[in-house]
Amino acid sequence: MSTELKKAIDQISKDRGIDRELLVDTLEEAVRSSVIRKYGETIDVEVTFNDDTGEMEVFQFKVVVDEVEDPLTEIALEDALQHDPNVVLGDDLGFRLDVTDLGRIAAQSAKQVIIQRMRDAEQEIIYEEYKDRMGEIVSGIIQRRDRTGWIINLGRTEALLPKEEQIPKERYKRGDRVQGYVINVLKEGRGPQVIISRSHPDYMSALFRREVPEVADSTVRIMGVARDPGSRAKVAVMSRDRDVDPVGACVGIRGSRIQAVVQEFRGERIDIVVWRPDIADYARNALSPALITRITVDEDDKLLEVVVPDDQLTLAIGRKGQNVKLASKLLGWKIDIFTETRYGELHAAREVLEQVASVAEMRVERFLDAGFESLEQMAEASDETMLAIPGMTEQKLNDVRAAVRLLMPSRPAPETASEADGEPGGENAASGEPAEGAGDE
């Protein structure tokens, strides 16, 4: 039996990759827990594995006393002298305990402790192995699906591909090989410790590092990635060598390099964008393939007002707003797109509003923030609404009203039948037809 235990320890240590000393400590603790479970918490025991004999040695210690109150922890001096003639009161006397009679329950308890300790040891090993692999690409076989996502066998351990980290519309089945990007490694937990992603922007960066030597050696740098997983992505690149075209390097001959990345994402369209330090130039590239007429930069609010030809609006915005959303995500700026026609109308209206604002000695932004975009809106607004504008007073409101009346196009006053009769040349009235505009007001 002793030889079998020693062989079992060596075999488990080899197969599971668990440190032998750690496994021995685990076994010793398991046996100690079983003894305490059977005899009680007060028992004083020491458990050691004898590597020479291959046996677990358990010693129970009792204190030498005159009068025994607890036979489990104390021994009378008279009895102790029979074991050791040199013993004195207060000494700890050790007795070898036979562990073969621990019983079925104690043995099962020892087994459970061993299993748990082995699992803990394995998790610690896995954590130590994978904690430095965050940001790497790993590959495995689909094992099963649970409520949180797909469980993937990586070999020595399992990984979890959560639902939120999957590419929409991708379908898997048991036995499929899949790869992903390690985004987290958990130190504790009953489930898989390694968390991977297929939708993370950095996964695309990692694939380009793998497929493009110039990216791997940092000649070409990836400055940003924006993805609509499974549909479209934009990747911003720049070259540190003026002789190396960053876009050409990433695309490869006849698109060979970028196709390897596209195939991994099941046909996700990838736009390679040249990064520029100037935000306006960068935005022009990011909004490609749309043509840009002009860009206004608001540094404070990180806002770009982009003007495009009327026939380029659909291209600039993209299907379901995808092009402008990805460009905005890539730049980290908000982007508002206007056609030239609409921009001209808004610009003209703003100039008029600025005139009104100057009369009241107020910033035009306060009117715009309140939702006013035209003189007509101001003319139709109630005094209560106008006074709600920050900084507006009764006096300023009177000035604004006067300015609006002055700047608004004059409207012809409606004519009455009597006025038409009294005017020379009132042909409409004479014929019995109402004058132009009569009855419309």
Is the per-residue pLDDT at 69 higher than 60?
Answer: yes
pLDDT of residue 35: 82
Reported in sequence order, the residue ranges of 66-216 that DSSP labels E, i.e. its strands, are 74-76, 92-97, 137-146, 149-153, 158-162, 177-185, 194-197
Q: What backbone torsions phi and psi does residue 254 show, to the nearest 5 degrees?
A: 55, 30
Residue among 180, 277, 287, 185 nearest 238 (CA): 277
User: What CATH topology corresponds to 134-199?
Assistant: OB fold (Dihydrolipoamide Acetyltransferase, E2P) (2.40.50)
Share of the chain above pLDDT 90, in %: 40
Query: Per the CATH hierarchy, to which homologous superfamily does domain 209-340 belong?
Result: K homology (KH) domain (3.30.300.20)
Q: Which helix (H) or strand (E) holds 124?
A: helix 103-130
Distance, CA of 65 to chain centre = 66
CA distance 14 to 413: 101
Three-state secondary structure call for residue 398: helix
Helix (H) or strand (E) holding 250: helix 246-251
> Do residues 229 and 191 lie in contact, with contact meaning Cβ atoms separated by under 8 Å?
no
Contact 355, 378 (CB under 8 A): no
Q: Which CATH code, of 3.90.550.10, 3.40.1710.10, 3.40.50.150, 3.30.1480.10, is assigned to 2-127? A: 3.30.1480.10
Q: How many CB atoms lie within 10 A of CB 440?
A: 7
Among 88-102, 169-183, 266-280, 419-433, the least confident range: 419-433
Q: What angle do CA 404, 410, 412 make, to 5 degrees?
A: 145
Model confidence pLDDT, tens digit, residues 386-397: 999 999 999 999
The bridge status of strand 194-197 relative to strand 158-162 is parallel
Distance CA 347, CA 119 (A): 69
Window from 100-114, 239-253, 305-319 with minimum mean pLDDT: 100-114
Helix (H, G, I), strand (E, B) or coil at 97: strand
- Mean pLDDT, residues 148-175 taken together: 89
Which sequence spans correspond to the domains of the chain? 2-127, 134-199, 209-340, 353-403
